[in-house]
């Protein structure tokens, strides 16, 4: 297991559409997922998508138990999700601050659906089907965007809502530590 290098915004690989996983439960797949967890842990992230380490497959990982780094955030079950499909439940959306390991040092306010159903597969090919809301729903939408080449700044409509973390903290616009570096 190895922590891999995380690609940063500007690397065109992050804007490519990833390919579906077709071979489940292989040693190569399990090794890749182990590396993704190592990478996320070293970087203190709440989630990671395979394209962020230069792998063009539709694999995301996310989740954490209650963690002092994420105050006020409900825990999200640690999940490996392959070939995900998201379906919004209702039309309600909310804005909240997001960060991304591929966009270090910045936070931005992004609008996401409040409630979603997501389906996909675990590494052994077993189906996952969950209906979630709140931060869990936000994290999944952020991660799955990575599989379609979308980084969160691309979804910010008002660019005054994008900023450097230390400036945002100084201005009282966000509190540290904050969740969702993913």
Burial class from Cβ neighbours inside 10 Å (0-12, 13-18, 19+) for residue 2 reads exposed
Cα–Cα distance between 43 and 37 in angstroms, integer?
10
For the bound state, the minimum distance from the C-beta of residue 98 to Ni ion, rounded and expressed in Å, comes to 8
Total binding residues toward Ni ion, as defined by CB under 5 A: 2
The C-alpha atoms of residue 156 and residue 21 are separated, in whole angstroms, by: 30
List the one residue from 61, 80, 100, 168 that touches Ni ion (CB under 5 A): 100
Choices 17-25, 119-127, 165-173, 174-182; region in contact with Ni ion by CB under 5 A: 174-182
Tokens of 5: 């290098």
Among 108, 162, 163, 182, binds Ni ion (CB under 5 A): 182
- Of 7 and 119, the one with the shorter C-beta distance to Ni ion is 7
Residue with tokens 């509190």, as numbered in its chain: 175
Q: Does 98 bind Ni ion (CB under 5 A)?
A: no
Closest distance to Ni ion from the beta carbon of 6 (Å): 9
Stretch near Ni ion under the rule CB under 5 A, chosen from 10-18, 96-104, 133-141, 154-162 = 96-104
Which stretches within 43-149 are classed as H helix? Answer: 134-147
User: Taking CB under 5 A as the rule, does residue 14 contact Ni ion?
Assistant: no
Q: Does 168 bind Ni ion (CB under 5 A)?
A: no
Alpha carbon distance 111, 107 (integer Å)? 13
Segment lying near Ni ion (by CB under 5 A), choices 32-40, 66-74, 79-87, 99-107: 99-107
Catalytic positions: 143
- CA geometry: angle 78, 62, 181, nearest 5 deg: 135
Q: Give residues with Cβ within 8 angstroms of 134, minimum separation 6.
A: 74, 114
Q: How far is the CB of 31 from Ni ion (least distance, A)?
A: 22
3-class state of residue 86 by DSSP: strand
**To the nearest whole angstrom, how small is the minimum distance from the Cβ of residue 18 to Ni ion?**
13
For Ni ion, the binding residues in 22-51 under the rule CB under 5 A are none
List contacts with Ni ion (CB under 5 A): 100, 182
């Amino acid at each position: 297991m190895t922590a891999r290098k995380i690609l940063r915004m500007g690397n065109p690989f992050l804007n490519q559409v990833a390919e579906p996983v077709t071979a489940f439960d292989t040693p190569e797949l399990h090794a890749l997922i182990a590396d993704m967890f190592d990478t996320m842990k070293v970087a203190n992230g709440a989630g990671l998508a395979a394209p962020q380490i230069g792998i063009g497959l539709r694999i995301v990982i996310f989740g954490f138990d209650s963690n002092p780094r994420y105050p006020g955030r409900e825990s999200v079950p640690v999940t490996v999700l392959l070939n995900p499909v998201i379906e919004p439940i209702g039309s309600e959306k909310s804005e909240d601050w997001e960060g991304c390991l591929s966009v270090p040092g910045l936070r931005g306010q992004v609008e996401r659906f409040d409630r979603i159903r997501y389906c996909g597969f675990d590494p052994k090919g077993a189906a996952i089907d969950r209906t979630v809301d709140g931060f869990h729903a936000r994290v999944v939408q952020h991660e799955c965007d990575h599989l379609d080449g979308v980084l969160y700044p691309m979804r910010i409509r008002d660019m005054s809502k994008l900023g450097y973390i230390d400036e945002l903290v100084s201005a009282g616009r966000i509190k540290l530590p904050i969740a969702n570096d993913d």
